[in-house]
């Protein structure tokens, strides 16, 4: 059992060093100052903010704004149903004639784990190799460093109190950023042994925290710190909201990755990217019936297969229960986002000129899809709303 441990940036130099958290933010004033300092300190080693990166599929640098050649209807939005566009409820909800894919920020090395904060109208997302969390303000398009170092953070989400929940590769833990800027360790061990490298996370309505724990963050020094795994299996865990107890809810994944609930929390979707460990391993989405309060899963089945060698890394649900998932690492023509009905039928694709890792819904009406694509953050408005649960 691991009890939540809360510490403050001001509890002493030794404590701060022991958790490697010298970059904690404490209040709005400290946040602004540390953002400037972190940006200056990292300028010599990372791409300047706003500088175009090197997309995986392009003949030249991509500008910010609508993708080159965009014309309504945007050809980057592809409905699975061929023929005349369908704008009704049976059509692809990212295809409404006047929607276009935009590149809103760039300068990252590997963008991951986006989460939207409606109170501030900004997106936080990880830049894993650069060991930082970025912040994109949607009202003015400003991109800044929110936290550095970030312990090679990966997946992020927001709980019902508006607090940031983060999976950390090099920390090998799940943390919560409190409203005062202090950090609470939610989970770092199971049965007395360190976790592998928590990857993605979701919070249920009852406050329980569910996360995946593959080994990607301890496989080398680019996205974390190389280490031997201490856990025998690559598990999916649940943290009890009252006791803080950590429980394995499923242990038969090769590499559990993205995770999300259906809007009614009756289904839990978990990605298996085991294909990265060998060609005979899975590249698919599994779905379970879930009893959130009891922390029990049942009736596992494959929801959707990915076109190997492509994998899906992250996903979110909309209010109608459709699943939106990232696609990358295979055929460049498949790079982007796929949208499925709750029954697993493919509705359409969003083509992105970079390998896509993860996504989230945001915007004032929760109808703007933010997409982490390798070096960049993309966005496209849709005709649906993301589920309230991130």
Query: Annotated binding site for a divalent metal cation, which residues?
Result: 112, 257, 313
Instruction: Using the CB atoms, write b or e for 303-314: b if 16+ within 10 Å.
Output: bbebeeebbbbb
HSE at residue 204, side-chain half, CA atoms within 13 A, is 23
Rounded CA-CA distance 81/77 in Å is 12
Longest Cα pair distance anywhere in the chain, in angstroms? Answer: 65
Number of other CB atoms surrounding residue 287 within 10 Å: 20
Task: Kindly name the residue from 127, 188, 313, 318 that is annotated as catalytic.
Answer: 313
Binding residues for substrate: 199
Rounded CA-CA distance 273/92 in Å is 26
Rounded CA-CA distance 77/176 in Å is 36
Peptide bond into 89 cis (omega under 30): no
List, in sequence order, the alpha helices (H) in 223-358: none
Asked if 145 and 42 count as a contact pair (C-beta separation under 8 A), the reply is yes
- Is the Cα dihedral 145, 147, 151, 157 positive or negative? negative
CA distances 388 to 157, 203, 384, Å, are 12, 11, 12
List, in sequence order, the alpha helices (H) in the chain: 13-19, 27-42
CA distances 248 to 11, 54, 174, 187, 241, Å, are 33, 40, 15, 12, 15
Selection from 311, 309, 318 nearest residue 381 by Cα: 318
Tokens of 88: 């009704």
Binding residues: 112, 199, 257, 313
**Is residue 318 flagged as an active site residue?**
no
Selection from 24, 13, 355 nearest residue 185 by Cα: 24
Active site residues: 313
């Amino acid at each position: 059992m691991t009890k939540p441990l809360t510490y403050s940036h001001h509890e002493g130099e030794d404590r701060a060093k022991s958790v490697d958290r010298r970059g904690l933010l404490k209040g709005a004033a400290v946040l602004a100052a540390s953002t400037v300092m972190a940006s200056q300190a990292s300028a010599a080693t990372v791409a300047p903010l706003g500088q175009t990166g090197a997309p995986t599929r392009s003949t030249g640098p991509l500008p910010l704004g609508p993708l080159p050649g965009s014309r309504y209807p945007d050809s980057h939005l592809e409905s699975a149903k061929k023929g005349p566009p369908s704008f009704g409820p049976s059509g692809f909800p990212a295809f409404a004639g006047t929607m276009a894919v935009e590149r809103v920020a760039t300068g990252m090395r590997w963008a991951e784990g986006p989460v939207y904060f409606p109170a501030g109208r900004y997106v936080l997302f990880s830049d894993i190799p650069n060991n930082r969390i970025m912040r994109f303000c949607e009202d003015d398009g400003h991109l800044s460093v929110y936290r550095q170092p970030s312990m090679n953070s990966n997946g992020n989400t927001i709980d019902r109190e508006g607090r940031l929940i983060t999976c950390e590769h090099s920390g090998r833990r799940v943390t919560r950023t409190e409203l005062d800027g202090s950090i609470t360790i939610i989970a770092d061990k199971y049965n007395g042994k360190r976790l592998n490298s928590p990857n993605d996370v979701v919070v249920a309505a009852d406050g329980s925290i569910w996360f995946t724990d593959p080994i990607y963050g301890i496989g080398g020094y680019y996205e974390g710190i190389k280490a031997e795994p201490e856990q025998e299996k690559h598990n999916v865990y649940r943290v009890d909201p009252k006791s803080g107890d950590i429980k394995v809810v499923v242990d038969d994944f090769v590499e559990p990755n993205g995770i999300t609930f259906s809007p009614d929390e009756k289904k839990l979707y978990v990605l298996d990217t085991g294909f990265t460990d060998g060609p005979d391993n899975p590249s698919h989405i599994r779905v379970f019936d879930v009893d959130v309060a009891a922390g029990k899963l049942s009736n596992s089945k494959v929801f959707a297969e990915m076109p190997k060698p492509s994998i899906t890394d992250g996903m979110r649900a909309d209010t109608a229960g459709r699943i939106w998932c990232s696609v990358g690492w295979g055929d460049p023509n498949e790079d982007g986002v796929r949208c499925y009905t709750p029954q697993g039928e493919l509705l359409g694709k969003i083509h992105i000129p970079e390998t896509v890792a993860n996504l989230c819904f945001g915007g004032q009406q929760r109808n703007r899809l933010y997409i982490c694509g390798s070096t960049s953050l993309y966005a496209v408005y849709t005709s649906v709303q993301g589920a309230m649960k991130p």
